[in-house]
Amino acid sequence: MKTQFVKRVVAATIAAALPLAASAADKPKSLNVGMTTFLTGPASVFGVPARNAAEILVENINADGGINGVPVNISFIDEGAGAEALTSEYRRMVESGSVEVMMAAISSGNCQTLAPLAEDLQVPNLMWDCGTQRIFEENDYKYVFRTQANATPEMLATVLYLLKTTPDFKTIAVVNQDYAWGRDSWDIFRTALKAMKPDVEVVAEFFPKFGSPDFSTEISRLQALRPDVILSTSWGGDLDTFVQQASQRGLLNTSTFVLPLAESSLERLGSALTAGHIVGARGDHYFLHPDRRDDEDFQTFMQQYQDKTGEISVYPVFHASQAIAALKAAYEKAIEENGVDWPSEDQLLAALEGLTFQGLGREVTIREDNQGIEDQLLGVSVQTGDYPFATMENIMIFDGDELTTPVGQKSIDWVGTLDAGFVDSVTVDSYEN
């Protein structure tokens, strides 16, 4: 009789515990994460710093005891090997069963390829760097989250900064790389500019080929046209070459340059980037971030990064920090909310919805459509002599909420509905430097 009773109690306890047991997971030996990044090719100017940063950040987490006692283990896939190799590597990594979370990618094209793949493979994927705004505007995803902004707030913030600091310009020319980003970013920029300042005249549009070694002809023509403002959303070697050649030939003295990605080239450009040109950072990313530079965690990381690489941190480092901060925050939130040792995949996905986390910049929140809301920092170049390269002054940080396309709308349509009043109504924090 007694044994019967014990059996029943045990059975009842097990039955009661079952739903819990089914939804929680066993604590793994390590949390394995895969990250796609450019280790080869022109975009390795972003990919290599991001990898270095990710390694430091993961070491730091593990030195602190990992996430709920579980150490993090990160491995990398080279995006430079081409889309074919990338997708098969991604698939292999996920299907081998060793990876719980993926982080992809830098290239917008790769994001568009990998987002549906992550959905198919049912692996949580943090889109950590790519710019395309189309991902969540054209599709719904359950497994894909973005831990940063996208091209729309980045371009919109640039237009706003330009209109706030140089309201009276009349003519603009553009020199962008001839690929998806160069074309798309100009579409958003032009649409926003035309909406908020319809009287601006676009005097020239150049799309030199990606990786072009020579902009001499474009520069000659720009000197003949003398536009008030010259926009270039180029990056890496292309941006360096363009600014250096323009600087050599005095074009920086006659036109104001607007360079939304120049933060990542500041150190390499040295003295070539003279004072008075608008510098952007694809978010609130700057090694002298005015809100964060006095914080201990920020200073410690900047020192670690400089010791490891000999360079200053650039925006992909910040983007990597955001993805890793989101990863840690999501696991901790899922563990706490469910009262488990280790969350199941569903619990993790639930935790990522509406998650707020902080990397090296300000706090970022993931919106209901899985898009991250990130603030945008821009400034004007200045050569102070403190560094052998240009730094920023008159910094403004725009509130990401107001610049991100509302859920369910298409960026180009939404940006086209803005008007001149938007320039004065946006929330912005200003800093001298």
Comparison of 188 and 269: residue with beta carbon closer to another protein? 269
Dist CA 101 CA 148 (whole Å): 17
Comparison of 240 and 284: residue with beta carbon closer to another protein? 240
Pair 237, 131: CB distance under 8 Å: no
Comparison of 75 and 248: residue with beta carbon closer to another protein? 248
Tell the residue number behind the tokens 């070459």, with chain if given: 241
Amino acid at 404: T
Residues 6 or more apart from 100 whose CB is under 8 A from it?
28, 31, 32, 33, 123, 124, 345
Pair 279, 390: CB distance under 8 Å: yes
Comparison of 65 and 213: residue with beta carbon closer to another protein? 213
Provide the minimum distance between the beta carbon of 81 and another protein in the complex, in angstroms, as a whole number.
13
Closest CA to 337 of 363, 355, 359: 355
Provide the minimum distance between the beta carbon of 303 and another protein in the complex, in angstroms, as a whole number.
20
Provide the minimum distance between the beta carbon of 375 and another protein in the complex, in angstroms, as a whole number.
28
**Looking at the DSSP assignment, which residues form a beta bridge with residue 66?**
none
Comparison of 161 and 287: residue with beta carbon closer to another protein? 287
Cα-only R_g, the chain: 23
Provide the minimum distance between the beta carbon of 236 and another protein in the complex, in angstroms, as a whole number.
7
Provide the minimum distance between the beta carbon of 47 and another protein in the complex, in angstroms, as a whole number.
8
Provide the minimum distance between the beta carbon of 206 and another protein in the complex, in angstroms, as a whole number.
5
Comparison of 152 and 234: residue with beta carbon closer to another protein? 234
Dist CA 189 CA 152 (whole Å): 8
Dist CA 246 CA 244 (whole Å): 5
Binding site for another protein (CB under 8 A): 39-42, 44-45, 48, 178, 204-209, 211, 213-214, 216-218, 220-221, 223-224, 236-238, 240-241, 244-245, 248-251, 268-270, 272
Pair 124, 352: CB distance under 8 Å: yes
